[in-house]
Structures are given as C-alpha cells and as structure tokens.
C-alpha cells in the first residue's frame, strides 16, 4: 500500500514538472510568422529560425531582399538614407511573429522611417524621379500596383523594381521619334500637350504662334510632320508666312513700295505675330506712299478707306493730298455749300479731330441772324446744332431766333412764369426780366424786385437764401416760386406751441396778425414792448424790476429753444433772505413760503409796506420807536451759508432783551 502511494506521488511530480516546462516554453516561444514568410520555403519550423536569426539573432533579411541590401551598401534609397544604420535593423520598423494581424509594411513602418504619411511621400530618396505636378496627386498604388496587397506572392516586390521611364506607364504619341526622355520637353507640371521644355529655336513661337497646336503646322504624314523633320539636317529651315497663310493683299503680294522683288511677301514689315489685324503701317509709312494722314485720318481704320470690295490686287492710285473729301465722304450740306469738290476745306480742316469742329468765324455766323455773343461765343457748335435725323443740314441748323431761349433751353421754372392768356412765340422778355443775357446764374432778381411781389423782403428775410423759401418738391422738380405762402407758420415752427392763439387772446394788434402782433422781421427774439402787453396776454402785469427783466430770466427755455412757462411765486425765482422765518409752518412742518408782497413791492425790495404795530406782535412805542431795527434784529450765524437777520421768534418781554439789571442795562 505504501508503494502505491509513493508511485502516485512520483507520477504527480512528473506531471507537474511536464506542465510547468510546457507552460514555460509557451511563454517564451515567438508568435506565428507573417503569411508572406510562412509561405517561403525554409522559414517554417525550428530549422527556419536560423535562416533569419543567426547567432546572436543578427538580421539576415538582405539574404532574400537583395535590393534592400544594395541600398544599405550604397547608402541610397529609403533604407540606405536612415540615420545611425537604422535601415540595417529591420526589426526596428517591421514587426514579425504576429501572424497576419500586423502588416510587415504599414503606416507605422513609414513613420519610423521618417515618412509621417505614406501618401505624402515625394520620392525624395529616389534619384532622378521626384514627384511633381500630376504625379504628386496620384496614390502610391497607381504606379506601385502591389502597394496595398496584404500577402505578396513569392519573389514579388511591393515598391522596388519599377522602370522610371515615362513609356513604362504612358503611351508614346511620338512612336519613339523623340527618344524616351519625355520629361526633357514636357516635364511633370503641365499637361502633356504642352511642352515647356521644348525649344523651337529655328522659328521662335511668339504671339499667336505660341497658342497653336503643334500638329496645326506639323501636319501628320506630311513633309512637315515631326517624323519627317527629324530626318532633315539641323537646323531645320524656317518657313515664311505665305507657306501657312494666304496673302490678303492679292496673289502677287502687296503692291506697296515696302515690298521688294526679292521679298514680295515680307509680312513682318507691317504685321507682327500677335494679331494680323494690328497693322504697324503707320502715319510715316502712309506719307511715304504719297498720302499724308492728318487729324481724324490718323486714327481711322485701314478698311475705312481701303474697302475689301474694291480690292483688285492693288491699292488706289496715290494722290497729292486729301483734298477731294467727296470721294470718300457724303456731304451733309445742301448744294449751296458745295461750290467745288474741295469746298469742305473752307470751314473744315482735315487735321481737326472731328469733322464737326468747323472753323466758321463769329462774323460769318452773325450773317445767319444769330450773333455769337457771350455766352454763346464759347459754346461748341454741336451743343446747338444737334442732328434731327439723317444728315439733313437744315434740320441741324434751323435758323433759330436769337431771343427764343426756350428753343434751346428747358424752362427750369416749369412754366410758372409763362404769361397768362398771352400766347407768344418769343419769350425772351420773360427770361430777361430776371436773368442776364450772358449768364443764367446768378439771377438779377434782387431785393428791390422782390419788393414788387406780395412779400417784400425786410429784416432778417433779406439775408435768407432763395432756396430756403423756394424749395424743390423733389430733386428733378423746379423750385416753387408762384404761390409761395406768406404766413410765418408756413416756413417757421411756432416756438410757443400755439399758446398765443387762444380764443380769448387778441387776434390783431395795431392791424398786425399772427407773429407780427409781437415780433417783427428783424429778429424773432426781439419783442416789441409797445405791441406786447404782459397783462393782456398773460393776466399778470409786470411792475418795477420785473418790467425790466429779460423774458428768458423768468420763463427759461426748453430743450428746443422755446420759452417755458413762468412761475408766479417769489420763492420760485428768488432766494428767501429771511431763511423761511416768515413761511407758514404747522406743527414744525413747512406749509407754504412767505408772502413777500405783505412787506415788499415789485418796484422796491425795501420793506416799505411793513407796519410794526400791525404786522408784528410787538408795539414799538416809546422809547423803542427811535431804536434802529438792527439793534433788536441782529444777524445770527447759521450752520451753512451767510448769517441771517433774526426777526422771529424774538422775546417780547423786557428781560428777554435787557436781562435782570434794574437800570435797564443789558
């Protein structure tokens, strides 16, 4: 029995030891290989560990990844440019033994290699192929088709091994006629159709030629095609204009003297490559042809004189000067102005900027019945002679009467001054009543003429601008003159707010109504004392100093400048010099201010109306009748302000003033 127990104990120890060894081995053993390495022969199992991990586990990845080894050896590429030989420690960026849960090449690997984002990698480590233009916008997988493949087939590269020639990815439209260095002409920044690097040396592409497609000149399958020109010895001879463009001057070329027998189609003598219509055949060249251009002719277009319909291969024959205006221009005048073909020069100069700038003298104009006196002497002809249809000279020059202002000028008064019941064709007398002949402004309608109206200007009205009383209803409307009201309230606001228009107040004073009852036109603030009776208008007559006081000292002024209402009690305007001794009090409470009129009058502040026997409780008989007031009513200091003369309360018995001295002493 004891032997059995011993056997069981030994077996248990062996089992525990086996489990312990198994668990220890499980804890230190690496994880599964990435599927790429797991599919590679010789890397699976314990024998495969030594393939990658030689003693002491040094990296031997370059045994299989030879291109990486070349970068490390030459110090090129992404791996060869890593600092501190990090590129030789593959495990620092590529994590193995995690199965397919961790990619061997992921964003983390790029970040550890100094590339924060794979999509932003600009091929900085790839010699001769930096990403620019359209290439910089492509995803890696556009060129590296296996960039995102999770498990690469055996022997395949993810990013390395591509041919950097353009024809590896793009078709060659030139069929290898220009070699395989496409970037030498096209670069990467512009569309392929543009070739900024190509130098068109023999025939510089300038102006409009720089915007023409290549095959427009180099037509395919022609002797000028790119393929054909590559067989021509350098330099390729440049073509002349006539090789591509038809001659608009005729089959024989221009007949002008600028052409020569050896260069009949020398277009560059007058034209440039920017725009054929922009002719450089200037005034000097035209003068050399025998026709000098002056005035408006210098700015005229060539086709204005050299009409395409008249081209017969040569220009019109030369003339000595532009004297026969009628050959090109129609006449706006009647026959009486056309004495001969050169009669235009009598009034017009071909050197003038415009034909309408005729040189008709004032004396010649006066023969028409309209003398050009000021201000018409400086007016341009076209200001009065405006075409009324076609080129009828009579319509433009109707022969107006010199005094008919309305024939040319609009009525700025809107007909307010037209005569009533008198229809006349000539209204010069009406305009000239107020305006001078030589200037419409300023008008001659002055104060004297205004006095003849229903509203003579007197006082302050003489200095008022006309526009203040005669406004415009709108910007385009004429000023109102006729019918302007003469009442004060039509222009001025009533500062009294209608206070003097009550039914019981005077409607007229000395024959004057409205504001004129108290005011005149010299100054509204000045009130005529003879017209304004304070007692009649307010019910309170002013006497003494009040009659001499300024109105505003009692009435004050409101925020908008009007006189306010005046108080009626003395205490509302004047300080109480008695310190409220004569105010009404009840139970030590103030009831009403003192009635100053009991002792004082408006004419004199002296208390001439005070009677000591009547108005006081102390009869100042003998011997007090001869005692001065100040002997009993002395100035008494107060807490704040000037001392106040004491009137009440005062003692009424003898001892209150004289004390207990039998001799009457104090």
**N-to-C CA span, the chain:** 150
Rounded to whole angstroms, the Cα distance separating 182 from 172 reads 9
On whether the CB atoms of residues 126 and 91 are closer than 8 A, the answer is: no
pLDDT band, residue 562 (cuts 50/70/90)? confident
Q: How far apart are CA 379 and CA 512, in angstroms?
A: 52
DSSP 8-state symbol, 586: E
Least confidently predicted of 140-154, 433-447, 452-466, 528-542: 528-542
Average pLDDT over residues 599-625: 80
d(CA 657, CA 647): 13
Interval 8-24: pLDDT, tens: 565 666 566 555 555 54
Q: Is pLDDT larger for residue 338 or for residue 306? A: 306
Residue with tokens 């397919």, as numbered in its chain: 100
Give residue 393's pLDDT band: very low, low, confident or very high (50, 70, 90).
Answer: low
320: closest CA among 351, 287, 274?
287
**Residue, of 155 and 17, whose pLDDT is higher:** 155
Look at residues 645, 544, 542, 546 and name the one whose alpha carbon lies nearest to residue 604.
544
Q: Is 452 left (phi over 0), alpha (psi -120 to 50) or beta?
A: alpha
Say whether pLDDT at 378 is over 50: yes
The tens digit of pLDDT for each residue in 409-418 reads 888 888 787 7
- The yes-or-no verdict on residue 26 having pLDDT over 70 is no
* Sequence-distant (≥ 6) Cβ neighbours of residue 480 within 8 angstroms: 416, 470, 471, 472, 473
pLDDT at 18: 59
Q: Which of 183-187, 342-346, 389-393 has the highest mean pLDDT?
A: 183-187
SS (H, E, C) 423-444: CCCCCHHHHHCCCCCCCCCCCC
What does the pLDDT read at residue 319? Answer: 44
Q: Two tokens at 465?
A: 């601008």
Find the mean pLDDT for residues 619-631. Answer: 82
Query: Residue 424 pLDDT more than 60?
Result: no
Of 585, 589, 579, 576, give the one whose Cα is nearest residue 638: 579
SS3 assignment, position 512: strand
Distance (Å, rounded) from C-alpha 434 to C-alpha 445?
5
Residues 6+ away with beta carbon under 8 Å from 75: 81
Tell me how far apart the alpha carbons of residues 121 and 551 are, in angstroms, rounded to a whole number.
93
- DSSP labels, 58-117: EE-GGGT-HHHHHHHHHT-HHHHT-GGGGGG-GGGT---SSTTSS-SSSHHHHHHTT-S-
* Residue 318 confidence class, pLDDT cut points 50, 70, 90: very low
pLDDT tens digits, 262-291:
566 678 777 888 887 777 777 887 777 667
Q: Sorting pLDDT into bands at 50, 70 and 90, what band is 356?
A: low
Q: What is the mean pLDDT of residues 612-635?
A: 83
Report the chain's mean pLDDT, rounded to a whole number: 76
Listed ranges 118-122, 235-239, 528-532; the one with the highest mean pLDDT: 118-122
DSSP assignment string, 8-51? HHHHHHHHHHHHHHHHHHHHHS--PPPHHHHTSTT-SSHHHHHH
What confidence score (pLDDT) does residue 311 get? 44
- Please tell me the predicted confidence (pLDDT) of residue 289: 67
Average pLDDT over residues 639-658: 82
Token pair of 613 as six digits: 């026997």
- Evaluate if residue 123 carries a pLDDT over 60: yes
Helix H or strand E segment including 584: strand 584-586
Least confident of 311-325, 559-573, 600-614: 311-325
637 touches 646 (CB < 8 A): no
- Higher confidence at residue 321 or residue 496? 496
* Confidence category of residue 29, pLDDT binned at 50, 70, 90: low
**Cα 167 to chain centroid, rounded:** 54
Length of the chain: 666
How far, in whole angstroms, is CA 464 from its chain's centroid? 39
Residue 363 reports pLDDT greater than 80: no
User: Coil, strand or helix: which one is 589?
Assistant: strand
Q: What is the pLDDT of residue 262?
A: 56
- Could you report the per-residue pLDDT of 251-266, keeping only the tens digit for each? 655 545 455 555 666 7
Interatomic CA distance for residues 387 and 384, integer angstroms? 10
Question: Above pLDDT 70, what percent of the chain?
Answer: 79
Classify residue 563 by its DSSP letter.
Answer: B
Q: Identify the pLDDT of residue 320.
A: 41
User: Residue 253 has what pLDDT?
Assistant: 54
**Does residue 310 carry a pLDDT above 80?**
no
- Which of 102-111, 290-299, 522-531, 633-642 is predicted with the least confidence, judged by mean pLDDT? 522-531
Q: With a cut of 50, say whether residue 427 has pLDDT above it.
A: no
Alpha helices in 230-294 (DSSP H): 241-244, 283-288
What confidence tens digit (pLDDT) does each residue in 168-219 have?
Answer: 888 888 777 777 778 878 888 888 777 777 777 778 888 888 888 888 888 8
Neighbours of 246 (CB within 10 A): 8
């Amino acid at each position: 029995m004891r032997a059995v127990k011993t056997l069981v104990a030994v077996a248990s120890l062996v089992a525990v030891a086996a489990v312990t060894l198994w668990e220890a081995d499980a804890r230190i053993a690496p994880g599964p290989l990435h599927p790429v390495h797991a599919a590679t022969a010789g890397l699976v199992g314990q024998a495969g560990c030594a393939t990658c991990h030689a003693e002491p586990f040094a990296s031997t990845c370059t045994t299989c990844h030879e291109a990486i080894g070349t970068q490390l050896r030459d110090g090129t590429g992404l791996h060869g440019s890593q600092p501190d030989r990090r590129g030789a420690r593959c495990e620092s960026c590529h994590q193995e033994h995690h199965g397919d849960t961790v990619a061997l090449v992921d964003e983390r690997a790029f970040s550890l290699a100094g590339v924060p984002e794979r999509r932003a990698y600009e091929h900085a480590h790839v010699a001769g192929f930096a990403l620019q233009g359209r290439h910089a916008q492509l995803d890696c997988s556009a060129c590296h088709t296996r960039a995102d493949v999770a498990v690469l087939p055996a022997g395949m590269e993810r990013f390395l091994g591509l041919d950097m020639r353009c024809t590896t990815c793009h078709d060659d439209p030139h069929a290898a006629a220009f070699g395989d260095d496409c970037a030498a002409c096209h670069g990467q920044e512009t569309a392929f159709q543009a070739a900024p690097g190509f130098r068109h040396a023999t025939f510089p592409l300038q102006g409009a030629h720089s915007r023409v497609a290549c095959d427009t000149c180099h037509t395919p399958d022609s002797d000028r095609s790119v393929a054909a020109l590559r067989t021509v010895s350098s330099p390729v001879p440049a073509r002349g204009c006539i090789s591509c463009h038809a001659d608009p001057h005729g089959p024989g070329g221009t007949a002008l003297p600028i052409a020569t027998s050896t260069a009949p189609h020398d277009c560059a003598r007058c034209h440039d490559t920017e725009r054929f219509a922009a002719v450089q055949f200037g005034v000097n060249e035209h003068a050399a042809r025998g026709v000098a251009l002056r005035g408006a002719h210098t700015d005229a277009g060539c086709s204005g004189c050299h009409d395409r319909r008249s081209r017969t291969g040569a220009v019109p024959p030369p003339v000595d000067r532009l004297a026969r205006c009628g050959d090109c221009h129609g006449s706006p005048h009647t026959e009486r102005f056309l004495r001969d073909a050169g009669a235009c020069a009598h009034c017009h100069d071909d050197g003038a900027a415009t034909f309408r700038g005729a040189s008709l003298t004032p004396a010649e104009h006066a023969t028409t019945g309209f003398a050009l006196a000021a201000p018409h002497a400086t007016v341009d002809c076209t200001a009065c002679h405006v075409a009324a249809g076609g080129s009828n000279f009579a319509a433009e020059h109707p022969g107006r009467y010199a005094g008919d202002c309305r024939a040319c000028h609009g009525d700025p008064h809107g007909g307010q001054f037209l005569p009533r019941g008198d229809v006349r064709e000539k209204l010069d007398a009406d305009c000239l009543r107020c305006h001078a002949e030589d200037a419409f402004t300023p008008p001659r309608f002055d104060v004297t003429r205004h006095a003849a109206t229903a509203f003579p200007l007197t006082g302050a009205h003489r200095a008022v601008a006309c526009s203040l009383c005669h406004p415009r209803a709108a910007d385009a409307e004429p000023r109102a003159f006729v019918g302007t009201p003469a009442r004060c309230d039509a222009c001025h606001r009533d500062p009294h707010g209608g206070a003097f228009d009550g039914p019981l107040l005077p409607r007229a004073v000395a024959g004057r109504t409205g504001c004129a009852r108290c005011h005149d036109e010299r100054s509204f603030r000045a009130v005529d004392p003879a017209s304004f009776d304070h007692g009649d208008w307010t019910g309170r007559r002013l006497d003494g100093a009040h009659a001499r006081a300024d109105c505003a000292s009692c009435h004050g002024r409101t925020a908008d400048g009007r006189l306010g209402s005046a108080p009626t009690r003395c205490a509302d305007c004047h300080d109480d010099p008695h310190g409220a001794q004569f105010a009404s009090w009840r139970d030590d409470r103030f009831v009403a201010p003192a009635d100053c009129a009991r002792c004082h009058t408006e004419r004199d502040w002296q208390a001439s109306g005070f009677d000591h026997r009547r108005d006081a409780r102390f009869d100042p008989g003998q011997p007090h009748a001869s005692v001065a007031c100040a002997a009993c009513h002395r100035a008494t200091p107060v807490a704040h302000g000037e001392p106040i003369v004491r009137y009440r309360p005062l003692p009424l018995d003898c001892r209150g003033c004289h004390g207990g001295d039998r001799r009457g002493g104090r």
